[in-house]
Structure 1
Amino acid sequence: MRGGHHVAAVSDATFDLAAGECLALVGESGCGKSVLASALLGLLPGNAQTAGTAHVTRPGHTADPTRTTDAERFGTGPLGTEPLGTELLGADERTLARTVRGRLIGLVPQSPAAHLTPVRTVRAQLEETLRALTPTPKRTLRAAAEQAAARTSFPADRLDRYPHELSGGLAQRAATALALIGDAPLLLADEPTTGLDRALVDRTADELRRHTDDGRALLLITHDLAAAQRVADRVAVMYAGRIVELSDATTFFGDPGPRHPYARGLLDALPERAFTPVPGMPPALSDLPEGCAFAARCTRATDVCATRPALTDGVACHHVPAEATRA
Structure 2
Amino acid sequence: MSGGRTVAAVSDVSFDLAAGECLALVGESGCGKSVLASALLGLLPGNAEVRGAVHAGGRDLLTADERTLARRVRGRLIGLVPQSPAAHLTPVRTVRAQLAETVRELTGAAAAALPDAVLAAADRAAFPADHLDRYPHQLSGGLAQRAATALALVGDAPLLVADEPTTGLDRALVDRTVDELRRHVDDGRGLLVITHDLAAAERVADRVAVMYAGRIVELADAGTFFGKPGPRHPYAAGLLAALPERDFTPIPGMPPELHALPPGCAFAPRCPRATDACAQRPALTEGTACHHALDSAHA
TM-score exceeds 0.5: yes
Aligned residue for 1:51? 51
TM-score, scaled to structure 2: 0.99
How far did residue 137 of structure 1 move? 1.4
Aligned residue for 2:12? 12
The separation in 2 between residues aligned to 1:272 and 1:163, in whole angstroms, is 35
Aligned residue for 1:67? none
Deviations 1:178-210, CA, capped at 9 Å, x for gaps: 000010000000000000000000000000000
CA contact (8 A) 1:172 1:193 kept: yes
Tell me the SS of whatever aligns to 2:99: helix
Match for 2:285 among 309, 312, 321? 312
Calculate percent identity across the aligned residue pairs: 78
Q: Which amino acid aligns with 1:201?
A: V
Aligned residue for 2:119? 146
Aligned residue for 1:204? 177
How far did residue 324 of structure 1 move? 3.7
Aligned residue for 2:211? 238
Aligned residue for 1:273? 246
The separation in 2 between residues aligned to 1:29 and 1:264, in whole angstroms, is 17
* 2:162 maps to 1:185: no
The separation in 2 between residues aligned to 1:99 and 1:152, in whole angstroms, is 24
CA contact (8 A) 1:295 1:301 kept: yes
Aligned residue for 1:135? 108
Match for 1:289 among 237, 257, 262? 262
Tell me the SS of whatever aligns to 1:246: strand
Q: Which amino acid aligns with 1:53?
A: A
Aligned residue for 2:63? 90
* 2:168 maps to 1:171: no
Count of equivalent residues: 299
Query: Is there any run of 5+ residues in structure 2 with no aligned partner, and where?
Result: none
Deviations 1:40-65, CA, capped at 9 Å, x for gaps: 100000000000000002xxxxxxxx
How far did residue 135 of structure 1 move? 2.5
How far did residue 238 of structure 1 move? 0.1
Tell me the SS of whatever aligns to 1:35: helix
What root-mean-square deviation, in Å, do the aligned CA atoms of Structure 1 and Structure 2 show?
0.7
The separation in 2 between residues aligned to 1:22 and 1:189, in whole angstroms, is 11
CA contact (8 A) 1:238 1:245 kept: yes
CA contact (8 A) 2:230 2:296 kept: no
Query: Is there any run of 5+ residues in structure 1 with no aligned partner, and where?
Result: 58-84
The separation in 2 between residues aligned to 1:112 and 1:291, in whole angstroms, is 37
Deviations 1:71-129, CA, capped at 9 Å, x for gaps: xxxxxxxxxxxxxx110111111111110001100000000011100000000000000
The separation in 2 between residues aligned to 1:132 and 1:87, in whole angstroms, is 24
How far did residue 325 of structure 1 move? 4.2
Q: Which amino acid aligns with 2:8?
A: A
TM-score, scaled to structure 1: 0.91
* 2:227 maps to 1:257: no
